[in-house]
């Protein structure tokens, strides 16, 4: 729920999320039924659509309860269902025929005939397989009905397998990625062992790329938005359902500002590219890649040779309310900070700054006051509620994210 609200606040036009069943993120903090209703209501109050994942690759026993769940989602007001399995689609068409269907990237749609087929089956939007190039997407757009919408991933973690249809997790850990339980063995470090010399491990290398032979870089298409639009993409998808609210805030804000700049003036967008890249460099990420969009990538374009992440800021807190009368903000602490340090506030999308500078709002922590009125030298306790000074308090919006630069 926190990430949903953050995505809405920081500029998303729609959010996609999963319930407790039938989706591909079993380890995420998914929504129970009451939370689904509340989340959909919050999004709709702010003019944002909600797309619910029902995209497992199902065996017969996985379909138990699906019909009743679909009727619940319709009653709850979900705007679309993200689906991948032909049987699930057939059930959707029978049980909730008026609900909008989006084909998941998990279905690996890679050609115009496949796109047209699924459209004939009642699918309104198709999320492109991640293996498609911009040229291929443009060809598909030119050879499919205009009533079919095309969505494509623009940012986030990449999978080593074709559109996520992976068996590695099932084989190595017994957790089926096609049922939402992926253990991400593609991120592990591997060594080679010769059969007659057990226990002698040799690192696997690819030139200078390292030993993480399955570990992909993160996708980032912030510099190629005009090309995606020209190819016929109507919706940009950001992967991030298991990311922090800080990540959601910064990435949504970067793409929202880039798209708004582009719509206003292409020259403004071009001038803003360094800013967008700077914004995306702050949050936890792997090295960035353009994936398959610009052509077949080589190992150096794709492989990330580390288990660690790159980041410049940490999540320090979230604004719960402002208090203009005392020039304070009431925050929920998320990371340790000290009296005398400076935190930085990420303005929501509606307060987006001109593209000339990142311009995060500095919040000098000259004191830390607890709810009981006592003062503290530091804030070490997770999710503690605190007051800190903010001269710009009247204009600071509830839900805004505070960060601390890593030294």
DSSP alpha helix (H) spans, 176-328? 225-231, 245-264, 266-282, 299-302
pLDDT of residue 196: 79
Q: Is the distance from CB of 29 to CB of 243 less than 8 angstroms?
A: no
Signed CA dihedral, 315, 220, 242, 216: sign only: negative
Name the region of 213 (left: φ>0; alpha: ψ -120 to 50; beta: rest). Answer: alpha
pLDDT of residue 218: 85
Q: Is the distance from CB of 317 to CB of 332 less than 8 angstroms?
A: yes
Q: What is the pairing mode between strands 218-220 and 288-289?
A: parallel
Q: Is the distance from CB of 190 to CB of 211 less than 8 angstroms?
A: yes
Residues sharing a CB contact under 8 Å with residue 111, sequence separation 6 or more, in sequence order: 140
CA distance 402 to 396: 11
Q: Is the distance from CB of 188 to CB of 272 less than 8 angstroms?
A: no
What angle in degrees, to the nearest 10, is found between the helix axes of 66-76 and 33-45? 30
**Which DSSP letter does residue 209 get?**
S
The enclosing H or E element of 154 equals strand 149-156
Per residue of the chain (407 residues), give pLDDT as tens.
999 999 999 999 999 999 887 876 555 567 899 999 999 999 999 999 999 999 888 899 889 999 999 999 999 999 999 999 999 999 999 999 999 999 999 899 999 999 999 999 999 999 999 889 999 999 999 999 999 999 999 998 777 666 666 666 666 677 666 666 666 666 666 666 777 777 776 665 544 444 566 667 889 999 999 999 999 999 999 987 778 899 999 999 999 999 999 999 999 999 999 989 988 988 887 788 888 899 876 655 565 556 567 788 999 999 999 988 889 999 999 999 999 999 999 888 654 444 444 668 899 999 999 999 999 999 988 899 999 999 888 889 899 999 999 87
pTM to 2 decimals? Answer: 0.83
pLDDT of residue 354: 43
No. of H helices and E strands in the chain?
A: 11, 21
Buried b (16+ CB within 10 A) or exposed e, 261-270: bbeeeeebbe
pLDDT of residue 210: 45
Name the architecture of domain 2-179+215-295.
Answer: Alpha-Beta Barrel (3.20)
pLDDT of residue 149: 98
Q: Is the distance from CB of 284 to CB of 353 less than 8 angstroms?
A: no
Signed CA dihedral, 107, 108, 114, 119: sign only: positive
Question: In a 3-state reduction of DSSP, which class is residue 223?
Answer: helix
CA distance 283 to 312: 6
The CA-CA-CA angle for residues 403, 257, 399, to 5°, reads 40
What angle in degrees, to the nearest 10, is found between the helix axes of 134-142 and 112-120? 50
The pair phi, psi for residue 273, each rounded to 5°, is -55, -45
pLDDT of residue 285: 78
Residues sharing a CB contact under 8 Å with residue 214, sequence separation 6 or more, in sequence order: 160, 168, 185, 186, 187, 188, 190
**Which DSSP letter does residue 198 get?**
T
């Amino acid at each position: 729920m926190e990430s949903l609200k953050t995505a809405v606040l920081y500029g998303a036009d729609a959010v996609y999320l999963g319930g407790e069943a039938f989706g591909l993120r079993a380890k995420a903090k998914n929504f129970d039924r009451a939370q689904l209703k509340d989340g959909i209501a919050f999004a709709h109050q702010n003019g944002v659509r909600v797309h619910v994942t029902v995209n497992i690759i199902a065996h017969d026993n996985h379909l138990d309860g699906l019909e009743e769940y679909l009727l619940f989602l319709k009653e709850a007001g979900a705007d679309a269902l993200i689906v991948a399995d032909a049987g699930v689609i057939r059930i959707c068409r029978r049980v909730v025929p008026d609900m909008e269907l989006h084909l998941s990237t998990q279905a690996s749609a890679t050609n115009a005939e496949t796109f047209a087929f699924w459209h004939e089956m009642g699918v309104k939007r198709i999320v492109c397989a991640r293996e498609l190039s911009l040229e291929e997407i443009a060809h598909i757009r030119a050879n499919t009905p205009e009533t079919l919408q095309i969505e494509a991933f623009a940012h986030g973690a990449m999978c080593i397998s074709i559109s996520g249809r992976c068996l590695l997790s099932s084989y190595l850990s017994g957790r089926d990625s096609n049922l939402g339980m992926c253990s991400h063995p593609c991120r592990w470090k591997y060594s080679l062992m010769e059969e007659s010399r057990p226990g002698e491990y040799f690192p696997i290398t690819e030139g200078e790329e390292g030993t993480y032979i399955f570990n992909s870089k993160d996708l980032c298409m912030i510099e190629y938005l005009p090309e995606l639009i020209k190819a016929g993409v109507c919706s940009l998808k950001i992967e991030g359902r298991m990311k922090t609210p800080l990540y959601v805030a910064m990435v949504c804000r970067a793409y929202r500002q880039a798209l708004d700049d582009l719509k206003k003036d292409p020259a403004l967008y071009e001038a803003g590219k360094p800013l967008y890249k700077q914004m995306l460099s702050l949050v936890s990420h792997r090295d960035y890649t353009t994936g398959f969009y610009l052509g077949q990538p080589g190992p150096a374009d794709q492989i990330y040779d580390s288990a660690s992440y790159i980041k410049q800021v940490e999540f320090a807190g979230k604004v719960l309310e402002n208090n203009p009368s005392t020039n304070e903000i009431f925050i929920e602490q998320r990371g340790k900070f000290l009296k005398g340090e400076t935190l930085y506030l990420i303005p929501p999308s509606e307060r987006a700054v001109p593209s000339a500078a990142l311009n995060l709002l500095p919040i000098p922590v000259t004191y830390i006051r607890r709810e009981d009125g006592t003062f503290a030298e530091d804030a070490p306790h997770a999710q503690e509620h605190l007051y800190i000074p903010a001269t710009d308090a009247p204009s600071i919006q509830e839900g805004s994210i505070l960060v601390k630069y890593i030294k």
